[in-house]
Amino acid sequence: MNWREVIPFSTSWFFWFFFTLPVAYLAKRYWYSETSKARFFSYHLLVFLCVNAVLTVITAEYVTFMLRWLNQQTYSNMIGKMAVSSSFYNFFIYLAIVTIVNILKYQQDLQSEKNKSLALQKQLTDSRLAFLKQQLHPHFLFNAHHSIITLMKLGEKEKSIEMMEKLSELLRYSLREISNVEITLEKEMELLQLYLDIQKIRFEDKLHVLFDVPSDLQTALVPSMIFQPIVENSIKYAVEKTSSKSIIEIKAFRQSEVLCLVVEDKVLDAKNNNTINKGIGLTNTEERLRTLYGHQQKLEFDRSGSNGYYGLKVTIKIPLNYV
């Protein structure tokens, strides 16, 4: 190997170190997707010819200088050699830079479109959830006002006033949380307790409510007002239809990374037939769960009966997330 020829030619490629960023900048000025193919290739062909001409002159001067220093070659002979040999390699180097820049731009645009799509999907989901949540309020208010009117007709003035006060407190609380798609289980229990206080005024000692919610799940996130329509279903189809003692159990527990929420009504009446009546409340609940969690959620209905009590057990399973 003749090192006097190898060293000048091999070191001349380092001039691309100074041209890579300018070529990348020019490539970014004219994307493939922003213009026609003919204009794109014409633009880059012109840029390449200019870059190649400058590189050819510079590298020829550099190699000639090195060879003269090594007593080998003249500039007139070298410029012709460099114009033929280095142009071929310069073309592929330029092509590689332009290709890499366009690939990076394509990936950036693809990610940007993906982010826009996710943002739009989130906006649509939030709008849908807000609509479903708003649906619950008129339905709940109608039932609550109906109970108040019934008490007033029965001459239960004090009870009707107390129920109105509880209802006002409940509405104030729910409106404060209306913008939140999810709230902590602790807040959801407070909201549910207000609703049950209203129902206890109506049913007095006939209705008994039992809570079993571990302290370590108090900060777990649940859909706002997720319990109310299920408990309302128990009151409508179990408690109202019997004169015997009625129990509603509300439980929360975890199964690995799944949060389980249970509402079970129990009535001392073998004839109790709390069937699955999917009115506005339960239909709304199913839709909200699907919209929020997709296939990661379950809404299960089971008939229950033990120790003389009969009723319906509703179980919600959602991903366990904390604040």
DSSP E strands in 189-294: the ranges are: 207-212, 221-223, 246-255, 258-267
Residue 94 · residue 56 · CB < 8 Å:
no
Token pair recorded at residue 133: 């949540």
| pLDDT computed for residue 128 by the predictor | 56
Q: Bridge-partner residues for 127, per DSSP?
A: none
What pLDDT is recorded for position 134? 55
**C-alpha–C-alpha distance, residues 81 and 72, integer Å:** 14
Which residues of the chain fall short of a pLDDT of 50? none
The SS3 assignment for 224 reads coil
SS3 177: coil
Going by their DSSP bridges, the two strands 309-319 and 298-306 should be labelled as antiparallel
Question: Nearest to residue 118, comparing CAs of 108, 126, 107, 130?
Answer: 126
At 317 the pLDDT is 96
At residue 66, the pLDDT reads: 73
The beta strand positions in 67-189, using DSSP E, are 182-184
Q: Output the pLDDT for position 60.
A: 80
Q: What is the pLDDT of residues 174-195, one digit of tens each?
A: 667 666 778 899 999 988 898 8
With beta carbons less than 8 A apart as the criterion, state whether 160 and 151 touch.
Answer: yes
Extents of the domains making up the chain = 3-115, 156-319
Q: Are the C-beta atoms of 233 and 197 separated by less than 8 Å?
A: no
Q: What is the structure's pLDDT at 105?
A: 82
Strand ranges for the chain from DSSP E: 182-184, 207-212, 221-223, 246-255, 258-267, 298-306, 309-319
**What does the alpha-carbon distance between residue 163 and residue 160 come to, in Å, rounded to a whole number?**
5
Whether 232 and 198 have beta carbons less than 8 Å apart is answered as: no
For 133-146, how does the pLDDT look when each residue is reduced to its tens digit (9 = 90+)?
555 556 567 767 77
pLDDT of 18: 84
**Residue 267: φ, ψ to 5°:** -130, 140
Name the nearest CA neighbour of 16 among 74, 73, 62. Answer: 62
| Domain covering 156-319 in this structure, CATH number | 3.30.565.10
